[in-house]
């Protein structure tokens, strides 16, 4: 399917860093519409607001999914690469299925993404900053009533984001969430859908008001086992292995989580996918068996966790600073992102040049 390109006649000047996160967008966006059972009119147009009917399904029933991924500039040859887009595409398909939305053709998703990045290529910042990519699908059919929409809008917006570490590496202070739960078996935990995040706003705000950076979710059934964080997966480093929750139907299967798992196996370190019991984690933090804890996700790559609050007390992990393995994994991943590493070149997908965007 042909993607049409309409250039922005009056693009705003490119912003200067520091970019922070989610504050700036490039002058263009990709849009396609689902109507009468097919994706129609894929187009790149100037970035701008949508006209939505106040009775459209997404506004009432939250039928919405999205992805979060990044493209990086490679200084050596001035190319731009997307990090493991195949993984995000697969997850987007899984989110579509769970939220009763039509899948978008993989080719259309990829070409829309590539052409949009290509058109705004000169706005991809130098590493370690990056271009954040946000493919999204919303239910646009007008009409109340709890039924899947018959119409959808798929769109992609992109924008420069800063490195999470520009102010230095600050170990996270996390609070175990002991009242609210994120997801249960049979729910939508593995889908990247807005409702999972809106339900998390209150506990995250409460934790932040109490001086913590974020929360650790426990399983909904027993509230005993660690699941993940607000927008990151979490891993526990022991002498002889690294443990993280299983990628079942209650957690988001992070692309960074998977990448870290592969890198650990490359290093000959055992990577165990088995939800750790929070009481054991705390006991091991005190005995010293637990060496390091880190969070991982597209935004913060690999970030140390220095403190865990559970049952009324703060518990320090290691010396409260960054552990050796955490540092090593972050350096490995950021090296791969920037194109400076011999490891896993297959994880970088080069953005081609399209004649339509020249
Ligand atoms: C709930 C949740 N868990 C984990 C992650 C980490 O996933 P990824 O590594 O694909 O960014 C994210 C970020 O997208 C998230 O929102």
Report all structural domains of the chain as residue ranges with CATH numbers, in order of start.
Answer: 4-163 (3.30.470.10), 172-337 (3.20.10.10)
β-partners of residue 98 are none
What is the pLDDT averaged over residues 337-341?
Answer: 94
Q: Environment class of residue 220 by beta-carbon count within 10 Å: exposed (0-12), middle (13-18) or buried (19+)?
A: middle
Closest ligand 1 atom to Cα of 297: 9
Pinpoint the alpha helices (H) of 120-168: none
DSSP class of 204: H
Ligand 1 pocket by Cβ (under 6 Å): 68, 228, 231-233, 252, 254-257, 297-298
> Side-chain half-sphere of 285: how many Cα atoms within 13 Å?
24
pLDDT of residue 358: 85
Task: Using pLDDT thresholds of 50, 70 and 90, give the confidence band for residue 1.
Answer: confident
Distances in whole angstroms, Cα of residue 326 to Cα of each of 263, 291, 343: 12, 10, 17
β-partners of residue 214 are 174
Q: Sign of dihedral through CA atoms 89, 94, 96, 99?
A: negative
Residue nearest (by alpha carbon) to ligand 1 atom 5: 232
How many angstroms separate the alpha carbon of residue 263 from the centre of ligand 1? Answer: 18
> Side-chain half-sphere of 53: how many Cα atoms within 13 Å?
13
Closest ligand 1 atom to Cα of 258: 9
Question: Nearest 5°: phi and psi at 107?
Answer: -65, -40
How many angstroms separate the alpha carbon of residue 257 from the centre of ligand 1? Answer: 8
What is the pLDDT averaged over residues 249-265?
Answer: 98
How many angstroms separate the alpha carbon of residue 84 from the centre of ligand 1? Answer: 14
Residue nearest (by alpha carbon) to ligand 1 atom 7: 254
Residue nearest (by alpha carbon) to ligand 1 atom 2: 231
How many angstroms separate the alpha carbon of residue 355 from the centre of ligand 1? Answer: 34
Instruction: Please write the tens of the pLDDT for every residue from 157-209.
Output: 999 999 887 777 899 999 999 999 999 999 999 999 999 999 999 999 999 99
Q: Sign of dihedral through CA atoms 82, 296, 245, 104?
A: negative
Residue nearest (by alpha carbon) to ligand 1 atom 15: 231
What is the pLDDT averaged over residues 327-351?
Answer: 96
């Amino acid at each position: 399917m042909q993607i049409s390109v309409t250039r922005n006649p009056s693009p705003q000047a490119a912003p200067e860093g520091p970019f922070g996160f989610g504050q700036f967008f490039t002058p263009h966006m990709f849009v396609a519409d689902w109507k009468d059972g097919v994706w129609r009119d894929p187009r790149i147009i100037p970035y701008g607001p949508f006209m939505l009917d106040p009775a459209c399904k997404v506004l009432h029933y939250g039928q919405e999914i999205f992805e979060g991924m990044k493209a990086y500039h490679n200084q050596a040859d001035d190319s731009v690469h997307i990090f493991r887009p195949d993984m995000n595409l697969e997850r987007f398909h899984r989110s579509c299925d769970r939220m009763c939305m039509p899948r978008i053709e993989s080719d259309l998703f990829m070409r829309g993404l590539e052409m949009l990045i290509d058109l705004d290529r000169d706005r991809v910042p130098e590493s370690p900053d990056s271009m954040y990519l946000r493919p999204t699908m919303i239910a646009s059919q007008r009409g109340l009533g709890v039924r899947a929409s018959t119409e959808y809008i798929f769109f992609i917006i992109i924008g420069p984001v800063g490195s999470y570490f520009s102010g230095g590496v600050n170990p996270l202070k996390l609070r175990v969430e002991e009242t609210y739960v994120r997801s249960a078996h049979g729910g939508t935990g593995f889908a990247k859908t807005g409702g999972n995040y809106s339900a998390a706003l209150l506990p995250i705000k409460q934790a932040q008001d109490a001086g913590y950076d974020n929360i650790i979710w426990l399983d909904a059934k027993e509230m005993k086992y660690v699941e993940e964080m607000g927008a990151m997966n979490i891993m526990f480093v022991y002498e002889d292995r690294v443990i993280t929750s299983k990628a079942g139907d209650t957690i988001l299967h992070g692309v960074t989580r998977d990448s870290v798992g592969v890198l650990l196996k490359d290093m000959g370190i055992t990577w165990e996918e088995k939800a750790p019991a929070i009481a054991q984690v705390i006991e091991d933090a005190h005995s010293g068996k637990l060496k390091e804890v880190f969070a991982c996700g597209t935004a913060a790559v690999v970030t140390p966790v220095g403190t865990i609050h559970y049952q009324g007390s703060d518990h320090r992990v290691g010396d409260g600073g960054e552990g050796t393995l955490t540092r090593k994994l972050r350096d490995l991943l950021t090296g791969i992102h920037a194109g400076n590493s011999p490891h896993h070149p297959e994880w970088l997908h080069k953005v081609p040049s399209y004649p339509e965007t020249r």
